[in-house]
Amino acid sequence: MSGPLSHLKVLDLSRILAGPFAGQILADLGADVIKVERPESGDDTRSWGPPFLPAADGGQGDAGYFLACNRGKRSVCADLSTEDGQALVKALAARSDIVIENYRVGGLAKFGLDYASLKEIKSDLVYCSITGFGQDGPRAQQSAYDFMIQAMGGLMSVTGEADGFPGAGPQKVGVPIVDLMTGMYSVIAILAAIARRDQTGDGDYIDIGMLDVMAGSLCNQAQNYFVSGKPPKRSGNRHPNIQPQDVFPCKDGHVVIVVGNDGQYAKFCEAIGRPDLIDDPKYRTNGDRVTHLETLFPEIIAALETDTMAGWVARLEEVGVPCAPINTVPDLLADPQAVHRGFEVKIDHPASGPLSLLASPMRFANAPVEIRRHPPSLGEHDEEIRAELSL
């Protein structure tokens, strides 16, 4: 059975993560995604290791980073500075529905591969440009990476332990979250443009900036500032608006507890043997608990120190209070829910044998998502694609 986007063709001129991740999502959904790469070196992330995938012949394969965001695609090599490379890209654009690129602003215009040029070849093309700061403004020509956008975009100002705690200081998120969100926003915009094209027959040009995405993802933290006028601060694992929500120590480790409303709070207090905290006027409502957090937390910590992590998880789950152990990646993949939902997918890689990949989180009843292709070797489909184009 074909995926829901099996009727679409995508020309992926991007590299690193945000653009390739967008292309991978479209490939997961069934689109035919052709990744154009530099001859010899290819996408930068092919060498972003270790770890590297061991090759069957004992050599070194691609880095795990590349494998994470390029499955489902076909790879063809082209030097965009040459007439041959430009001709290949234009031929691909002529039969594509979507183009994704993340060159510097104006970088593809000198090769005749910008939106204005390719629109002359395919008038209904949906062309998505991904940059650090968008196509205009004083920073438009600057390069950007996820880490610096996390810093500039305010995320690191609200991530990390609060001042006064051991190890306090700004922290980045443990995955390249801005790149990933930029890829997802790009896909949303692309599919919206495709839906509009189906109604009007017109293509579109999409301008996605990583800093724009980061700002748009600050969500409640930015809105708290708009409402209060006070800049949000780092609070470690504590939620700024709902309490108790934090990482709490117990007898043999730590447990995450996420009390989301007053009803859950009452169940939580009963479960930890402190029903007296339910009607205490300092803690009766969520607002009260947020205001008096510094006196509430020592009471909770003292109660939790009497049992183990597994004991508290079992007890709190039984009464419906959201909680969780802090899993490692192997712990996650071994969780019964993860096994049931199939988080780990195995696919054959011609150069390395069986390869484990993360499954797509999207589930469809009538057009299931499937990983149809392994992450391609550099230029693996050169002959195939050039034959299709009669080049």
Yes or no: say if 124 and 214 are a contact pair by the CB < 8 Å rule.
no
Helix (H, G, I), strand (E, B) or coil at 263: helix
Helix (H) or strand (E) holding 388, with range, is: helix 382-388
Phi, then psi, of 272 in degrees rounded to 5: -90, 5
| Conformational region of residue 257, where left means phi above 0, alpha means psi within -120 to 50, and beta covers everything else | beta
- List b or e across 360-377, with b for residues whose CB sees 16 or more CB atoms inside 10 angstroms: beeeeeeeebbbbbbbbb
- Give the strand pairing for 353-358 and 344-349: antiparallel
Cα(221)–Cα(158) distance, integer angstroms: 8
178 φ/ψ sector (left φ>0, alpha ψ -120 to 50, else beta): alpha
Torsion from C-alpha of 297, 298, 300, 302, nearest 10 degrees = 160
Token pair of 14, please?
């991007």
CB neighbours of residue 306 within 10 Å: 12
Query: How far out from the chain centre does Cα 216 lie?
Result: 15
In the set 28, 62, 114, 179, the catalytic residue is 179
Q: Find where tokens 């991007």 sit.
A: 14
CB proximity list for 72: less than 8 A, separation 6 or greater = 24, 27, 28, 33, 371, 372, 373
Based on the residue annotation, tell me whether 179 is a catalytic residue of this protein. Answer: yes
Q: Which residues are catalytic?
A: 179
